[in-house]
Structure 1
Amino acid sequence: MSIAGINGNEFIVLAILAAVLLGPEKLPDYARKLATLIRELRRLASGAQEQLREELGEDFADMDLKKFDPRQYDPRRIISEALRDQLEEPPVQGFPDSARSRGPETRSASSPPEPSGPAPFDDEST
């Protein structure tokens, strides 16, 4: 079981470390304080969620707030979905099918570009 990204071995190491640093006398007191803090944070989160629903009104009453959780966003997934959507877009009107399939350039992908003359030179550059 993974709690907040901590596996069983890491949890055991953290428990032993806490027992050594805090000592067996203070450990139950700090565990109780931690449990109280977690309960209070959950209560505050649910209160804020309820207040948000009340202030937004009936139009947003059935809104799923989990989709606004920043932990669910994976940049790789977002980029791949955007690229997939871009590839699946309907064709642009005004271009013949052959021009759309070839893309903006008509030369083959394996041939190097044709030289168009010397590279531009800027006298004012450093």
Structure 2
Amino acid sequence: MQLGISFEKILLIGLIAVLIIGPERLPRYAEGFAKLVRRGGELLRDTKSRVREEMGSEIDDVDWRKLDPRQYDPRRIIRDALFDDAPASEPAKEQAIAEPPSAATAVRPPRERHEFSRSSPPPYDSEAT
């Protein structure tokens, strides 16, 4: 993982910290920052060891790249689905084109639309509610 922080940026942040904090308080703040970094490292090591203890040898078998959420890019999933060559669907398409439409698959006219009013309410199923 690359953080993208260059040496020049760190130097600039340090210079600004010296100007804001002042030279007399800087050693105390630097010591506090060093303790914070040390404690963060210890916390990370403890967390790693606890996870390894609780999962045991199974943690070595996990493929972490499969669990990376960046691989679930919707554009890539759609592109893969559209350009996926599915040989099983090709014969079905050819067969559908070769056969004339039967009476069951013929185009039907749209159904009549019913208008409901107070005198003729829509059907009501008392068991469904």
The Cα of 1:20 is off from its aligned counterpart by 1.0
In the superposition, the TM-score normalised over structure 1's length comes to: 0.53
In the superposition, the TM-score normalised over structure 2's length comes to: 0.52
Residue of structure 1 equivalent to 2:76: 81
Quick one: distance in 2 between partners of 1:28 and 1:69? 41
Quick one: distance in 1 between partners of 2:65 and 2:14? 31
Shift of the 64–43 alpha-carbon distance from structure 1 to 2, 3 Å rule, reads farther
Residue segments in structure 2 that go unaligned for 5+ positions in a row: 98-129
State the one-letter code of the partner of 1:5.
G
Larger fraction in helix: 1
The Cα of 1:58 is off from its aligned counterpart by 2.5
The Cα of 1:49 is off from its aligned counterpart by 1.6
Give the alignment's Cα RMSD to 1 decimal. Answer: 3.3
Quick one: distance in 1 between partners of 2:51 and 2:29? 33
The Cα of 1:64 is off from its aligned counterpart by 5.9
The Cα of 1:29 is off from its aligned counterpart by 2.0
Residue segments in structure 1 that go unaligned for 5+ positions in a row: 100-126
Count of residue correspondences: 92
Larger Rg: 2
Quick one: distance in 1 between partners of 2:42 and 2:66? 20
Quick one: distance in 1 between partners of 2:78 and 2:34? 45
Deviations 1:56-81 (A, max 9, x none): 233223436687677xx387xx2443
What percent identity do the matched residue pairs reach? 28
State the one-letter code of the partner of 1:34.
F
